Chain A
């Protein structure tokens, strides 16, 4: 079982986390967003081999954060709080 670093709590067991999707999957706003763009946002996932940037949530404290990890070696490379990086 993996150890993930919650930016708020520190290193914790992976069973306490939920996956929250690809990081950088920016939501396109508006009722007139091209439908292909919207479909990509909803359903298209990069599924990289190697380094991946992902959103995770630590269920215990509620922190959503960006984690970089290697999908082959399962090494965790970094984690950082969202901190409203996409704030409107």
Chain B
């Protein structure tokens, strides 16, 4: 045994609540309050994972989010890959396994790869697997790549909560700086939100000596939290501020001990206070990645929080003062401790029972699955079972960097500190380079005072104070042995040197070429040593090399958190018909069309094709009922309404008489047909725009834009009444007879209500608007009634229809009926280049004298090209199947096939007993009667160009 749990102590653990979990199949014992890492250490598990590339054995390095080595997969229904053992609470019954190791971290069968390490340096993949073809190597490399695995047992824990939150001050980090800032701000009457990524507050005060206002640190923490809670401030433990976005929106990832999905908080504070602390760096020496080598501060945290003594014969190597407290505490806990300090001068006194060796650096470590000794730079060898490292402190300024804060290099601290302030963001404590508690508190006081509040007394540090002396110890070019910079991605000093030799000297290139800092830990321990090494190699200073761009998230956030409730049906909610349930009861089969859930056909899902053909045929023979409620009904009202619709439409609309309807196009400013439909003029100053179902929102927005930009609010008013009313369509030779069976209180006589007219009646006391508009080519009546009264009318129509063998049709039958007539659907029979005259509607272009949207674009060279694609019908030779939609009309030019257009709609016509099709074909309008080749998936067939309309070209059926 080397690492062990002490019999007493441990501020974070509850010894009355023992727990058990499994790691790589073995049982691990711990206590409530342990992390997986502290429990593994207490059980003396040295090897907890394998490195990404070389499958080197790796042990626990840190005690927090910076952990590069101890990645684990949590198994079972709440499986999560690649979590950090150092931040994951240990729970009873949890199943954990190491990543990138088979069958276990200790006995990984890919460990042999490390012996080939010198053949697989940085960029090895780019250089090696290019010939003959990367794809030959890809499957096997992919199988080897990656770290954790997604567990097949995973089940969704439900939707993740998302919370929007506002406060005066958001304090990130509940260490001494954050607690002080939160308490001062709260005392000044501000609303405060305090978040911390640990389960309990305190930060470094949780394991480092401190006496505040004459009290032990733990008492001061408890008192401060109690004061905040009683002031009603929001305190969120186990919550990481992972990103600062535009306008200082802060994203928080809150984890829950009960297994609920993580909560995403979107916080908009007036002021952000970053009290995010600092992360301890490794030192460069050969084999500095062996298990048993860990951060000195982490060892102190495990000792004081979890009562875990990480070794018996411990060597602590440092270049700064912070490791002295660690060395002293470990010696006091019973370990044999040697402290190796790089510095000659200005060092503190050796702690009691610690052997201090000055002016010595580590040259190398030895051991196989665990460190067993170190060699100093003078050749001295020391036996050890645990090597603790303090290479200095890197302020956690990620969030400041994300907010585009500029960093300033501090020679004194050997670190980047926050530079010029960013509006609304202050940085305090160790993140701002403060070391002594008195400096930390002074900084917090200054920030809160700058919010224009308070003269409250600052907390006073009354105990011994930490000091910041440091002698930088960056990796040195040309060093002997394998010196790791980035543990997780296996980047060594030699890899950085290789990058420099190949001129990847920019820090962004260095990152991508070597993958330095690109692992799941995002280089929290490795970025600074890596760029300092690049500075050394290229003869630049560290600030000249600079840092890579800081981007969110600071720590991984589950995707489910960002999705929130937008999963399944709520991912893209469909719009629903008021009569959906009635249609369902009548055997409708629903499909989504342009965002609407509509009946595709009736008669159940068996033999859909026959149902659709039957609906089509009966619609032509007698009468069809159709739910057209999705049709746009956007009202345009006001003194300028007629001028407005004239401007919006390609066709002149102001000449329309009240009570009449006109079909027309709306164009985009580039002349392309944007929407088509019928405009109804209700009276002098009131129109209804019937736009395509899927276009209602876009048409409405377009009307509003021109209204507000060009006409003015007093001139026109626009109201989208689409969902106010249901529209029930009666179409077919017997349509009028069917309606006459109902008492609608209006004359259905063709003299009073001719084709393209609108009338007003009532049904059961409710107003109905009846428009004689046809999308089928048959006599049709579109009856609009308030949506909540549509059901009785629909029922009555069906009932009255029985006498006429009426058929209820779905959208598929309607699509066939309109295609038989050559009626287009915008976006299906047109594309993003189709101009109105391509569809045979050239009148307004030729004659209109007034301005309209898209006008000028109709007179360009492009618009006047004589080989434009034009709308045509396409007929196939007798007995052949319908053309595939999307098939191309082709021609041969210089022996090569070239497209001359394509099929846009194609159906078997039940009315004609043969296929009908529409298409856009070059010069098509002038080529009726010509037979062309149609190609689909390499097969060529014939089609004859015709007029678009195949049924009743004279239009007699509209009046029949």
Contacts and interface: CB of A to CB of B under 8 A. Distances in A.
A83 B708 CA distance: 6
Contact of B710 (A33, A35, A62, A86): A86
Contact of A2 (B247, B669, B670, B700): B247
A27 B710 CA distance: 10
B709 interface: yes
A9 B587 CA distance: 45
B711 interface: yes
Contact of B708 (A28, A35, A82, A88): A82
B860 interface: yes
A31 to B, nearest CB: 6
Interface stretch (B182-190, B440-448, B850-858): B850-858
A77 to B, nearest CB: 13
B855 A31 contact: yes
A64 B705 contact: yes
Contacts of A27: 669, 710
Contact of B709 (A35, A59, A62, A64): A64
A40 B709 CA distance: 19
B957 interface: no
A50 interface: no
B670 A88 contact: no
Contact of A84 (B701, B713, B856, B860): B713
B245 interface: yes
B859 interface: yes
A79 to B, nearest CB: 14
A64 B246 contact: no
Contacts of B266: 1
B715 interface: yes
B163 to A, nearest CB: 14
Given A30-B856, A64-B705, A84 B245 contact: no
B754 to A, nearest CB: 34
B704 interface: yes
Most chain B Cβ neighbours within 10 Å, of A1, A59, A85: A1
B705 A31 contact: no
Contacts of B705: 20, 57, 64
B856 A33 contact: yes
Contacts of B670: 42
B246 A84 contact: no
Interface string B247-263: 10100000000000000
- State the majority secondary structure of interface residues on A: loop
B460 interface: no
Interface string A8-44: 0000001000101000000111110101001001100
B575 to A, nearest CB: 16
A52 interface: no
Contact of A88 (B247, B700, B711, B713): B711
A50 B700 CA distance: 32
Contacts of A63: 708
B782 to A, nearest CB: 26
Nearest to B643: A88
A19 to B, nearest CB: 12
B381 interface: no
Counting contact residues on chain B (CB < 8 A from A), the size range is 20 to 34
A16 to B, nearest CB: 13
Contacts of B714: 84
Contacts of B827: none
B268 interface: yes
Interface in B655-685: 669-670
Contact of B712 (A20, A42, A84): A84
Interface in B834-857: 851, 855-857
Nearest to A64: B708
Contacts of B247: 1-3, 74
Contacts of A28: 856
A3 B268 contact: yes
Contacts of B245: 1
Contact of B851 (A2, A29, A84, A85): A29
Interface in A38-79: 38, 41-42, 55, 57, 59, 62-64, 74
Most chain B Cβ neighbours within 10 Å, of A41, A55, A62: A62
A38 B712 contact: no
Given A20-B705, A31-B856, A38-B856, A87 B715 contact: yes
Contact of B246 (A33, A74, A81, A82): A74
B249 A82 contact: no
Contacts of B710: 27, 84, 86-88
A30 B850 CA distance: 8
A88 B643 CA distance: 11
B269 to A, nearest CB: 12
Nearest to A33: B856
A28 B247 CA distance: 37
B713 A62 contact: no
Nearest to B856: A38
B249 A84 contact: no
A34 B710 CA distance: 21
B711 A35 contact: no
B855 A84 contact: no
A20 B709 CA distance: 11
Contacts of A87: 710-712, 715
B857 A38 contact: yes
Nearest to B720: A62
Most chain A Cβ neighbours within 10 Å, of B247, B704, B705, B711: B247
Interface in B582-636: none
B43 to A, nearest CB: 45
A29 B669 CA distance: 11
Contacts of A2: 246-247
Interface in B818-877: 851, 855-857, 859-860
Contacts of A3: 247, 268
A58 to B, nearest CB: 11
Given A2-B246, A88-B710, A88-B711, A42 B859 contact: no
Given A33-B856, A57-B705, A62-B704, A42 B669 contact: yes
Nearest to A20: B705
A1 B246 contact: yes
B284 to A, nearest CB: 39
B891 to A, nearest CB: 31
Contacts of B851: 29-30
Nearest to B703: A62
Contacts of B713: 83-84
A64 B702 CA distance: 11
A50 B247 CA distance: 16
B139 to A, nearest CB: 40
B701 A1 contact: no
A42 B857 CA distance: 9
Most chain A Cβ neighbours within 10 Å, of B268, B712, B856: B856
Nearest to B647: A88
A1 B266 CA distance: 9
Contacts of B704: 57, 62, 64
A55 B268 CA distance: 25
27 contacts: A1-B245, A1-B266, A2-B246, A3-B247, A28-B856, A29-B851, A30-B856, A31-B856, A31-B859, A35-B856, A38-B857, A63-B708, A64-B709, A74-B246, A81-B708, A82-B708, A82-B709, A83-B708, A83-B713, A84-B710, A84-B711, A84-B712, A84-B714, A85-B709, A87-B710, A87-B712, A87-B715
Given A27-B710, A84-B712, A86-B709, 8 more contacts: A1-B245, A3-B247, A30-B856, A42-B669, A74-B247, A84-B708, A84-B710, A86-B710
Interface of B: 245-247, 249, 266, 268, 669-670, 700-701, 704-705, 708-715, 851, 855-857, 859-860
Interface of A: 1-3, 14, 18, 20, 27-31, 33, 35, 38, 41-42, 55, 57, 59, 62-64, 74, 81-88
Considering the complex of A and B, which 9 residue pairs feature the smallest CB-CB distances, nearest first?
A84-B712, A87-B712, A64-B708, A2-B246, A82-B708, A38-B856, A29-B851, A2-B247, A1-B249
